[in-house]
Chain A
């Protein structure tokens, strides 16, 4: 029975000086966000949160991950996600919870030992909720990063037609395994769509190649052969040539050319097209 009393006590702590506590809480949060969110919005967010928290504590929930606090967590999830999307830091997000502890401090100064005990218990719940906020924040940031990576992948992989029967992929930027795979699938599909028997993979814009990426390149070239097309790799820079040899990657009988122009010339020759300079040209 005594335990039940102490639980409602915790709710009592929150209800006792409610207006002053909430006002102070809102003020310190607004201050920490440096005006990037309007006071009216913070006011709405935090009052809703406070109400949910009080309700949970009245119901007897003290476990931050328990059922009673699920509504509170839902509100915090929304808050963290918004902060993450708007570009706030993790500290600026967690402070929304932690500042509430500060709001209780004045009451603690001239309170009894019982008050201190109640404060510590509340403090523990709030700490857990703050951690929850940071976790949600991080997860949201990861989602944003992975969706940006997908967008980047789609943006940066054009397959261009250079000539009838000759296509090229100019690769730009650091290649990771996932991106290389996407580019290569696109290249092979383009062979079918355009009926091209010659493909050029130009890596002039690639700063580094690791074993995995080189493996993907090799596999693509073999796959293209299985489909009846030939690939030439062009634009291998000196540093990359050194890495490829140092890593012991076997390029075997794959044709490589110094520049895209050389590769195009070879591809045209293989398609039976000769480039002839006109007499009197080059004036």
Chain B
């Protein structure tokens, strides 16, 4: 029995806050859950809060990039918020730059970024 990370909804944004040391299977489940819920709940944005995450290895890093790509295909923008400095330094050293993933310092700034992105798209 693998844990599942809860996906919350605020307006048209899905919010995932990762609070536990992630097992690989949990990561894969989250990827699936998000893809499903972006469609079923008509979400325009996804915020993944990793403030509490102490380790992001290549597996989790890849999941973040994959979710960003999937959500973009489903017309939703993904923002990863709250990455710790030590985690960021380690990811750079590891060789992962998470191209294509939007980031913000905290949840509030992440939500603001999504609002701006939505406004830009609507204007077009």
Contacts and interface: CB of A to CB of B under 8 A. Distances in A.
Interface string A184-204: 110011011001110000000
A16 interface: no
A219 B106 CA distance: 21
Contact of B89 (A188, A195, A197, A228): A188
A188 B88 contact: yes
Contact of B93 (A219, A227, A228): A219
Interface string B87-98: 011011100011
B11 interface: no
B92 A228 contact: no
A225 interface: yes
Contact of A223 (B89, B102, B110): B89
A195 B103 contact: no
Nearest to B110: A228
A189 to B, nearest CB: 5
B52 interface: no
Interface in A170-192: 184-185, 188-189, 191-192
Interface in A219-254: 219-220, 222-229
Contact of B105 (A185, A191, A220, A222): A191
Q: Is the interface of B mostly helix, strand, loop or mixed?
A: mixed
B105 A197 contact: yes
B105 A226 contact: no
Interface stretch (B20-28, B34-42, B78-86): B78-86
Contacts of B106: 195
B91 A226 contact: yes
B109 interface: yes
Interface residues of B, number: 20
Contact of A228 (B83, B86, B91, B97): B83
B5 interface: no
A195 B93 contact: no
Given A197-B109, A219-B92, A226 B84 contact: no
Contacts of B104: 197, 228
B92 A192 contact: no
Contacts of A219: 89, 92-93
Nearest to B113: A228
B97 A192 contact: no
Given A192-B84, A197-B109, A225 B103 contact: yes
Interface in B97-117: 97-98, 102-106, 109-110
A108 to B, nearest CB: 65
B109 A227 contact: no
Interface of B: 80-81, 83-86, 88-89, 91-93, 97-98, 102-106, 109-110
Give 9 closest A-B pairs by Cβ, nearest first.
A188-B85, A228-B103, A223-B88, A228-B104, A226-B88, A228-B105, A219-B92, A227-B83, A223-B92
10 contacts: A185-B85, A192-B105, A195-B106, A197-B109, A219-B89, A220-B89, A222-B92, A223-B91, A226-B91, A228-B104
